[in-house]
Amino acid sequence: MSFEDQVKLQRPFRIRRSLRELVHKPSLSRSNRYSLKLPPLPSYDTNTEEYAYDILYECQRGSLSVGYSSKTLLQFDPNPWCDANMGFTPMNIENYQLPDPTWQWVSKNWMIDMTDDVDESGWQYALKFHGADWHGNYKHFRSFVRRRRWIRLRYRNKRNKETSTENEVMTKTLVDVEDASSSQPSSSSFNHQEFMEQLQRCRLDREKMFMLNNAIQSGHEDYITEKISVYLNMLDFEDTKYSLLTILFSKKSFNQLTTEEKKAIQSLSYYSDVESLLEHVHVQ
């Protein structure tokens, strides 16, 4: 075969390869895809103060019958409300909690972020939620879904943070202390009514937590989980509730949680506790 014949055979392959290289777009990582710019933070002393934005995404899908709505989202779509990475969150702008008591809101209400390529109401449109290019103008056959970002600014004094951390350590230490005088459920049988009466006689959370720990270690975890909302209501401190849920769900994955167990996690007052538990069960 002559040299010219070899060139003719190779040329189409080289052209196709170069075209693929020209049109190829490297896929963005999950973190980069949603890392949009935020409004600048106020000027402050980083040694004594701290500011941060909380972010929620509102998601909707369009349909010919009802227009855009969160009720038309499909099974593979994200939730009506998502976190900064378009991931699952039990929170929305009505029930969103500060991470801990050291923080306070700067802005009175949640605000729609208008800093990116959005329409007059703050919406961005795309063909689909995952892996699509978002644009602020409605385009036919390229705007089946839409989202908009809500932001709210919070602030805390770092001195308050140090004091709160010390209090949390003391509380967790008290929870782990064993109270020998507390009643313990029998390892052979479990009487729910009797156990509830014993818990009601306990004045302190650490006493109640000691009894609950013993019941779980004695193999009565299912009984506790079945009535988890009742037991949570008997505890006074959020840290104790968080500790109980962590013990119960530490060996479960998110898909294994029942509806009642998910509601129990969402009932925690502090968003940081909810987020920590959800991250833990997602990792399993």
Q: In this predicted model, what pLDDT tens digit does every residue of 150-181 receive, in sequence order?
A: 999 999 988 765 555 544 544 444 444 444 33
pLDDT in the model for residue 263: 85
In this predicted structure, the answer to whether residue 227 has a pLDDT above a threshold of 90 is: no
Higher-pLDDT residue of 69 and 236 is 69
pLDDT in the model for residue 1: 58
d(CA 279, CA 272): 10
192 C-beta neighbours (distance < 10 Å), count: 14
**Once rounded to an integer, what is the mean pLDDT over residues 74-96?**
90
Higher-pLDDT residue of 170 and 119 is 119
**Once rounded to an integer, what is the mean pLDDT over residues 13-30?**
42
pLDDT in the model for residue 160: 62
pLDDT tens for 131-141 read 888 999 888 88
pLDDT in the model for residue 203: 79
What does DSSP say about strands 81-82 and 49-63: parallel, antiparallel, or unpaired? antiparallel
- Residue 274 confidence class, pLDDT cut points 50, 70, 90: confident
pLDDT in the model for residue 275: 80
d(CA 84, CA 31): 9
pLDDT tens for 174-203 read 444 444 334 444 445 677 788 888 888 887
Supply the angle between the helices 238-249 and 205-217 in degrees, to the nearest 10: 10
**Once rounded to an integer, what is the mean pLDDT over residues 253-272?**
81
Chain-wide mean pLDDT for the chain? 77
Higher-pLDDT residue of 186 and 227 is 227
